[in-house]
Structure 1
Amino acid sequence: MQLLANILIDGLAYGMVLFIIAVGLSVTLGLMRFVNLSHGALAMLGGYACALLTREAGLSFWLALPLAVLATGALGAALEALVLRHLYARSELSQVLFTIGLSFFLIAATNALAGPQVQLIVLPPLLTQSVDLGFRTLPAQRLLVIGAGAAVALGAAWTMARTRFGVWLRAAVDKA
Structure 2
Amino acid sequence: MFKKVLIMLMASFLVCAIGSAFGTSSIAAQKNSPTTNYDVFIKGDAIPYYDKVNGKKIGMISYRIGESSNDLLMVKVENDYYSKVKFKKTENGKRKYVGYVKNKDISAIFNSLDNLVVRVSTINLRTKASTKGKVVTQIKRGTQLDIISVNRSETWAKVKYYKNGKKYVGYVSTKYTIYL
Q: Please, what TM-score do these two structures have when normalized by structure 1?
A: 0.25
Which is strand-richer, 1 or 2? 2
Higher relative contact order (CA 8 A, sep 6+): 1
Larger Rg: 2
